[in-house]
Structure 1
């Protein structure tokens, strides 16, 4: 983020802390895609993610006076959103099984571990044709991860938070975060290697080499 953008954001935050709803709405416009994307990857359902995202922004507005700028505002929002997504997920798990299955059905997820491979293959016709099916495959892989590992992988590998930021967001130790990310990545990689034909060419080669 440039200094100008950072100064603008700090001004919007300060105004929001004084109760300026219009200023906070500007922050919502800046971060709504980021927050929705993270929550969607955790929950796997667009409508549910939209509802939780809205609730997370409401919670952020109510609690913005507590934001002190020790971390980035983006990280602070992701902490709120991921915590609310986890709370929702746990509530769903206590309901009948069909509710949980409905929550995880989706067609257009995003990828944590092969994002760079997909991005670098954006102009590759083969990769473009396979993207939709691959996206669905990755979302299923994410949903198979235990919730704590899924949160750590999404926040680190998709949203780009540091291990320290993930630890703060999940209120756990750095060692626990490292373990969750390592285990989550391994499980997701093992899941994806069952479907090599859907992976971008470079990723197919890297997974085959790692298995040899």
Structure 2
């Protein structure tokens, strides 16, 4: 979609045109859901968070100033909403001690992204184990670190794009991502040491 058409749809949506809003948001719905899925790892929570993002986009569209790309603004909103929702659910689960939490995901789809079909079954099993190890370690990261890893290392956003989403300078963005990666590495190393002893 061209920036000109996008801007027209935004203006029409702000003026109450629901069809314009649908056209505007349609290309981004799947990406918003995928961001939420990486954060929550289960379909229902991801769906709920994605819906919350879309509601926030709708309610705050009049605040979009056309100073950045709409996609950058939307991803920043998605990132902040997912972090807020994740924290809310985490607090709720911490207070619900008797509830057994199943943190599952249709592992097939994520595993497939990492599987090279030329691998032997043993190599594939080892690779799947590594994916699970990284995924479990990511769950132990702070929410803001987790989202940085998702954006940079899973979705492949550039440092510039992430800096715009965070509204901070490039150097700060790079150092935050570096710290997030180091934290992830430390968690994995610590877990491996515990397993080995």
State the TM bucket, normalised to the shorter chain: 0.7 to 0.9
Would you say 1:139 and 2:135 are equivalent positions?
yes
Shift of 1:65: 1.7
Would you say 1:61 and 2:55 are equivalent positions?
no
Counterpart among 108, 113, 124 of residue 118 in structure 2: 124
Distance 1:64 1:126, change over 3 A: farther
The answer on whether the counterparts of 2:33 and 2:46 sit within 8 Å (CA) in structure 1 is: yes
Alignment of 1:185-196 (within 5 A): 185-188=181-184, 191=188
Q: Deviations over 1:94-131 (max 9, x none)?
A: 334376997771233759xxx7xx3xx65536599657
Alignment correspondent of 2:148: 152
**TM-score, normalization by structure 2:** 0.72
Shift of 1:161: 3.4
Computed over aligned residues only, the root mean square deviation of the Cα atoms, in angstroms, reads 3.6
**TM-score, normalization by structure 1:** 0.68
Alignment correspondent of 2:178: 182
- Structure 2: gaps (5+ residues): 193-197
Shift of 1:46: 1.8
User: Relative contact order (C-alpha < 8 Å, sep 6+): which is higher?
Assistant: 1
Alignment of 1:56-135 (within 5 A): 56-97=53-94, 105-107=103-105, 108=107, 110=110, 118=114, 124=118, 126=120, 135=131
- Structure 1: gaps (5+ residues): 196-212
Q: Deviations over 1:160-201 (max 9, x none)?
A: 433344334335554432222112224445639x89xxxxxx
Residue-pair matches, total: 185
